[in-house]
Amino acid sequence: MLHLIQKSPFQSQCLNECLKIAGANDSFLLMLDGVYALQWPDFLNNKLIFNDSENTDKRLQKITVLEDDLLARGLVIPETHKDSIVAINYTQFVELTLNNSKTLSWF
């Protein structure tokens, strides 16, 4: 399943709550103010979602961030996570949602 993270983790507990119930194979999209999770150590260091150190196959797109929202805010994917977080556009966002059985928004 896919989790859409729509609020800043510094302001809202929603990402925190999502991580508490997420499964190891779930996918995540950071969007809107949710992209500020890229600045949040608790997210970047989360063992559950960044668990697969050997799997750097970007086609899996397990952790994604909406590129427009990233650019708008002047953020970049941290060097440490260049292999594990992928920036996607809206066409890929659509595919991502349709490739998952369920999508849940967190706000």
d(CA 80, CA 18): 23
Q: Is position 12 an interface residue for its own copies (rule: CB under 8 A)?
A: yes
The residues, ordered by sequence, that sit 6+ positions from 1 with a Cβ below 8 Å of its Cβ are 23, 26, 27, 100, 101, 102, 103, 104
41 binds, among its own copies, another protein, none (CB under 5 to 8 A by kind): another protein
CB of 102 to its own copies, least distance (A): 23
23 binds, among its own copies, another protein, none (CB under 5 to 8 A by kind): another protein
Q: How many CB atoms lie within 10 A of CB 69?
A: 19
94 binds, among its own copies, another protein, none (CB under 5 to 8 A by kind): another protein
